[in-house]
Amino acid sequence: MRFRAWPKPEPYRDTSRKRAAFKRKQRLEREALPLFSEMIAAGQHSVDEEMARRHIWWDEREREQRSLRAGRWREARGRLFSLPAELRSTIRNLWRGCPYPADPTYLLDLLHQIKVGRVDPHRPPWVFDGKLTGPRRTPKNSMKPFARSAIEKSAVARRPRPLTSSCSAAISVQASCSCAPACASTTRMRAITLHPATGCATLMSAAPVTGSISKCAATVRIPNSS
């Protein structure tokens, strides 16, 4: 039976850190109720008395823990030997290789899990009995139709719209600005920009030869190809 030995009992160690911690505890108790600090201080004992009390309490605590642990081992062994011989042998082999710590509490929990049916002793959950397979790959055409259509629509929306023959003809027309009579000169096309929402082309004309007007613009409506 796999088990973890209990460490050998040792006497209580009296250190300066434990003494300082006990003094801090008493000081916090007095500061919590400042009006009754003198009354609280009268009921507190010294550090030496506390260390002597802990020496006695430590030995009693060790005996209680060892007795409790031995009682749990006896209870676990009693439950184990109450099972059929074949199942008992399977559980003993399972306990030797299980990842649980070798404590009686874990053995009692394993016996309980087997009793209620949560753990199969012939197929424990920590033993992998399946076959290793390669990485899972998504087939190329495994996307749903509506998902593919949404992706295709977004790709088409992002694609730049080509210019039709009517658009090219409208852009290539040389426009005259409203200031032509004033400056007595025609304007030539300088730059063309397309508005993404309205589909209009703005023709920026160059500065005239004479006159004080520097720039003028004319807007040509381009029919929507769609």
pLDDT at residue 177, rounded to an integer:
43
- Rounded Cα distance between 175 and 189, Å, is 7
CB 189 within 8 A of CB 174: yes
Please, what is the angle between helix 85-97 and helix 104-116, to 10°?
Answer: 130
| The pLDDT of residue 205 | 44
pTM value is 0.50
Q: Which two tokens stand for residue 168?
A: 């090219």
Q: Give the pLDDT score at 217.
A: 43
Q: In this predicted model, which residue has the larger pLDDT, 202 or 88? A: 88
Residue 194 pLDDT exceeds 70? no
3-state helix, strand, coil in the chain (%, to 5): 50, 10, 40
Q: Which residue has the tokens 């399977």?
A: 90
Q: Where is pLDDT greater, at 132 or 60?
A: 60
Q: How far apart are CA 29 and CA 36, in angstroms?
A: 10
- Which long-range contacts link 86-89 to residues 24+ away (Cβ below 8 Å)? 87/121
Residues 162-168, mean pLDDT to the nearest whole number: 54
Place of tokens 């609280």: 40
- Taking a C-beta distance cutoff of 8 angstroms, is the pair 180, 206 a contact? no
pLDDT at 142: 54
Give the per-residue pLDDT at 174. 45
AA letter at 146: F
Whole-number Å distance between alpha carbons of 216 and 187? 9
- pLDDT tens by residue, 79-132: 999 999 999 999 999 999 899 999 999 999 999 999 999 999 998 988 877 666
Q: Which residue do the tokens 């929507």 mark?
A: 224
The pLDDT value recorded for residue 206 is: 42
Coil, strand, or helix at residue 183?
A: helix
What span, in angstroms and rounded, lies between the C-alpha atoms of 147 and 143? 6
Q: Across the chain, which distance is largest between two alpha carbons, in Å?
A: 117
Task: Sketch the domain layout of the chain as residue ranges.
Answer: 16-116, 165-221
Mean pLDDT of 137-154: 59
Rounded percentage of the chain residues whose pLDDT exceeds 90: 48
Out of 117-121, 131-135, 201-205, give the one with best mean pLDDT: 117-121
- Which of the four pLDDT bands, split at 50, 70 and 90, describes residue 147? low
Out of 35-39, 104-108, 127-131, 192-196, pick the least confident. Answer: 192-196
